[in-house]
Amino acid sequence: MFNHHRGFWGYAGVSLEDGQPLMIQGTGVGGPSLVSVVTDLVELGVKQFVRVGTATGSPQTRIGDLVVSSRSTSTDGVSQALGAEPETAAAPFLLETAEELLLDIAKVGLTSSSDLQPHLDTENEWDGVLARDLSTSGLYSVAAHLEVEAISLLVISNVDGSTIDDDDLEAAVTRAGVTAEAILAAS
């Protein structure tokens, strides 16, 4: 552990994939806290971000699925404050790398972020949306604003009120973390 700045744990080391410096940083819940952490890290020289988080899945997903957000609707406050387009997007190179690494084991597509927990956000329909979370659009918006690269990998932890159990969540997030490391090593 190298810091506890802003109350979020941060760990630094080297990638097992390529021996390059690697940082794992908690960002809290939602876009505002994520933006604060990302901004601090960019000021320290970080240029690529792979977010690993959880999301509520659409009816076309299953609990434990991995969703790669190629783009996200910008209905959250952070994206609005940064003047984002109606949809924000993952960095093209990171997305291409993720698609190659995750061929046949992940769903890739549109996600949606808002400031409300997905089960409270009753105004959004699932039309083409694979997953809903609280942070992806904020990440993509701030990354574009700060001219850095970002992608979001989401573990589906809830579908239609059913939730993932703790052991399965830990295994799925670990797989997503290993994938995140591989994406960074390939870039």
Quickly count: other Cβ atoms within 10 Å of residue 119's Cβ: 10
Nearest to 155 by CA among 107, 94, 93: 107
The topology (CATH level 3) of 48-186 is Rossmann fold (3.40.50)
Tens digit of each residue's pLDDT (9 = 90 or more) over 12-22: 666 666 677 66
109: left (phi over 0), alpha (psi -120 to 50) or beta: left
Q: What is the pLDDT of residue 37?
A: 74
Residues 6+ positions from 70 with CB-CB distance below 8 Å: 89, 90, 95, 108, 109, 110
Tens digit of each residue's pLDDT (9 = 90 or more) over 107-117: 999 998 877 66
Confidence of residue 148 (pLDDT cuts 50, 70, 90): very high
Average pLDDT over residues 124-143: 86
Q: What is the pLDDT of residue 16?
A: 64
Tens digit of each residue's pLDDT (9 = 90 or more) over 50-79: 888 899 999 999 999 999 999 998 887 777
> 167 near 73, Cβ under 8 Å?
no
**What are the residues facing 74 on neighbouring strands?**
113
Tens digit of each residue's pLDDT (9 = 90 or more) over 71-94: 998 887 777 777 778 888 999 999
Residues 6+ positions from 120 with CB-CB distance below 8 Å: none
DSSP labels, 68-83: EEEEEEE-SHHHHHTT
Residue 91 in tokens: 């960095």
State how far the Cα of 114 lies from the Cα of 95, in Å rounded to an integer: 22
Q: What is the pLDDT of residue 26?
A: 56
Supply the mean pLDDT for the chain: 82
Question: Among the listed ranges 32-46, 60-74, 86-100, 162-176, which one has the minimum average pLDDT value?
Answer: 32-46
Residue 177 in tokens: 């973390």
**Alpha helices, DSSP H, located in 62-127:** 77-81, 92-101
Q: What is the pLDDT of residue 84?
A: 76
Name the residue ranges covered by the structural domains of the chain: 48-186
Average pLDDT over residues 146-156: 94
